[in-house]
Structure 1
């Protein structure tokens, strides 16, 4: 069985292993040295990537010198060498060249990996590019800024990934401040920022164009459109990315330009994950990344979107050119809309649970999430790049409107009720004012009794009302549906973590008849993550309708269950 080598097998690059195995080849992985990264953190990162792989593979480790590594790999006789991540591009390209395999020329390596050199290459080829300069001091940057009469600029490491160290500066002083800060830090690979790239800022709409090349012929596999935000510190934060299924005005020109960029960089084989900006002057390259698109997207997720996935298409370019060209002849036609919502942590948070993990599967377009359940207590830092997001939710559906609705919902939760994403849970020693709770409950009951046959699910039982009252533990014994449900749970929620609380709310809402109502007073929603907005988010996740409250009814959320 012939070997195929994946250098630095991470993120979406882990999909290579399944594809190699399914083609009847033996997958082998070359793990890079940790370099300047923390050794234990690096080991944990690599293990977490390997744990995602359901197939056997052979693992080898980069040697102290390139010559030793080349000799080790030469003895394995690989027929293809591919990078599994951005950090693997340099070594994979060198090995493939020295092993005389199908690959990209070593002469193009700087243009493939250095963010300044790729724009120099575009300038040489007469293509639109972004003005920039590599600087080693604040003084160099100020000279470049003044000489080019710049206003807004972007600062970034010359090499890196995941937007680590990327900052938008709205004026000269911000540039000076951020440069001073970034020169003391490291890039995404753990290397010190001895130099930084300062570029003019292009304002527009941001896209991804992913291509695969076979002997210098290119085809577009997927086009995505980004939405990012800038925080108060100038960091660029990923908010959402969604597939472009039907081209809009200016997007065909973007595709043409992307082909020109891939030609200019000198790509003959394999992937380019290209990031572009489109403004009033048309498309311009932000950067190329000559490896699979990241974000840990699974084969199945991508197959649902386009009927193919990138790592398999990459292997076609090397192993099955006929199949590559047959796919290239077919029009760009996606079968579903795909999207990722990338959560932005607003501040440093200690969390005990991630309630969104129980909420998001209720969404119609939900596919998967990277946000893991929290076993004890975990610290999340404020998001400043892709690496410090607390997780993604993957969405896919044939109806783009459903995907858009679910994205809007997740954004609303993130903006208004972040406690439903990461939660520290309630204080179990909280003292309840049960007499006060009963008094506040009366208002909800006085209105609810007009809606027909109802049930009160309660921690505080009331005298003198003609309706079924049950405690939380007795819900399982209740059969049938009701015209309305009043929920008065507080003590029960204090005693449970937020994940269980969310599941209890979902179970209770299932008791409502179609066209029935649920009343959730302050005596309940104060004890749910996010309070009133939290319960409203849970209601919306089930496609229930929040009802306009009647006159003089305060501190009660009312929702109805319709036929939708």
Structure 2
């Protein structure tokens, strides 16, 4: 039985652990400080460890004797690679580790490799902003933490004053990963279709799991991810995006494991937004992905590590998913506490609806409905007709935008129940 260590198996890492267990492998879970609640709740049949220090963790893993050490979430990326390298197990290039976590170092690594990239500057204080802004030819300018996730702190700024305001709001504050924003990134705004490239790599060979396009809406100066749609075939522009994405992986020393790469196809060609050296998040249930693709990124990674035939079979054939697929990041109309979820049954009745994941419970507080961390749940759609899938996705957005998905208790707590009763029939199918 192969022994697999997964570092911080929260978010989509839970699906990775499940994929290994379904294939008969044993998983041992390492948690870092700050994830004590997840550590306590994890039954971890193969064992678990709450990290106290690198050397102590390394000693414990040497006793365990793992065959691989993998990142189970964004926060586990750096430690997983460091432990794998120290244990002599497959890992990504050690010297490029900072470039795989810090977005400014990422841009610098692309430049050294001759890969086109967005103009990028890093500032550690407000006094550096004048010099940094002089590098940008035009607005808008994107402001974001140097290392975070889920659109946390992301702002699209149309003026110098907005840049200063956004930077002040980030510097010195904790981000979504629980780390202090000591450095904030300024980046050229990239206009054009937004792609996601999910891959699994073994010994430098990159295998494409899925290619998706993303719909973003700008709300309060922040780009909000509404849904992702699978590309079931690739045209020449799509192929150019995929080729560019794989060049980015090489430039960042990615040779092992999963990667979630975001790219914009601009008028000047593909440009990287970021590479995340872990599974797509915030959750990765196998069922809807297998229904459309025959695999999920998590099952593909497990098959790769375990040297199972499905990975080699996928690597040997052209990219051609069998069915259309979409996932909607459900959104509450505003912040507040979920009082009821009247829109869920309406979604369940849609022809291409497949399943929900990570739905909130009644009583859940949603503090920031603009984060793309799945706080309000996700809805999956699978079908043979792409237009039917997109029509159902549009129905979901109509529910969200009308405030009919969730009945929220918050500052505008009026006669919402009556509003649902009057308006829901007009949107139902």
TM-score class normalised by the smaller sequence: over 0.9
Task: Tell me, yes or no, if structure 1 residue 317 matches structure 2 residue 207.
Answer: no
CA 1:131–1:303: 2 relative to 1, 3 Å: same
Uncovered stretches (5+) of structure 2, i.e. residues with no partner: none
Which residue does 2:158 correspond to in 1? Answer: 170
Q: Which residue, out of 123, 127, 133, partners 2:121?
A: 133
Q: Taking structure 1 as reference, are residues 411 and 105 closer, same or farther at Cα in structure 2, changes over 3 Å only?
A: same
* Separation (CA, whole Å) in 2 of partners of 1:4 and 1:389: 29
> Is 1:187 matched up with 2:175?
yes
Q: Structure 1: where are the runs of 5+ without partners?
A: 35-41, 431-496, 499-526, 541-564
> What residue number does 1:361 align with?
348
Whole-angstrom distance in 2 between the partners of 1:213 and 1:147: 35
The whole-number CA distance in structure 1 between the counterparts of 2:146 and 2:322 is: 37
Aligned counterpart, 1:536: 426
Deviation at 1:321, TM superposition (A): 7.4
CA shift for structure 1 position 346:
3.5
- TM superposition shift of 1:137: 1.6
Instruction: State the Cα deviation string for residues 486-532 of structure 1 (Å, max 9, x = none).
Output: xxxxxxxxxxx96xxxxxxxxxxxxxxxxxxxxxxxxxxxx4x4354
Higher relative contact order (CA 8 A, sep 6+): 2
- Residues 313-367 of structure 1 show CA distances to partners (whole Å, capped at 9, x for unaligned) of 2233333176533321111111111111113333223331111222221111212
Q: Of the candidates 380, 392, 402, which is equivalent to residue 366 of structure 2? A: 380
> Structure 1 pair 215/371, CA: closer, same or farther in 2 (3 Å)?
closer
1:364-389 alpha-carbon deviations (Å, 9 max, x no partner): 121222354644x4432242321374
Deviations along 1:85-144, whole A, 9 cap, x unmatched?
111111100110000011212112112111111111111111111111110122312222
Q: 1:61 aligns with which of 40, 46, 50?
A: 50
Alpha carbons 1:154, 1:168 under 8 Å: kept: yes
Instruction: Provide the residue aligned with 2:382 in structure 1.
Output: 396
Maintained 8 Å contact 2:333/2:401? no
Once the 2 structures are TM-superposed, how far is the Cα of residue 276 of structure 1 from its aligned partner? 0.5
TM-score, normalisation: structure 2: 0.92
Match of 2:96 among 99, 108, 133: 108
Paired residues, number: 425
Match status 1:157 vs 2:145: yes
Deviations 1:202-254 (A, max 9, x none): 1111110011111111111100111112222x222111111111224511110
State the match for 1:24 in structure 2. Answer: 24
Taking the aligned partners of 2:56 and 2:267, their CA distance within structure 1 comes to 51
Superposition pairs of residues 439-454 of structure 1, within 5 angstroms: none
In structure 2, C-alpha distance between the alignment counterparts of 1:110 and 1:147, rounded to whole Å: 23
Provide the residue aligned with 2:395 in structure 1: 409
After superposition, the Cα gap between the structure-2 partners of 1:46 and 1:166, relative to the gap in structure 1 and judged at 3 Å, is: farther
Seen in structure 2, the aligned counterparts of structure 1 residues 83 and 337 have a Cα distance that, compared at 3 Å, is same
Q: Trace 1:44-443 onto structure 2 (pairs within 5 A).
A: 44=37, 50=42, 56-63=45-52, 65-232=53-220, 234-248=221-235, 250-320=237-307, 324-370=311-357, 372=359, 374-375=361-362, 377-387=363-373, 389-416=375-402, 418-423=403-408
Structure 1 residue matching 2:249: 3-state secondary structure: helix
Report if aligned partners of 1:236, 1:385 keep a CA contact under 8 Å in 2: no
Question: 8 Å contact 1:226–1:241 — kept in the other structure?
Answer: yes
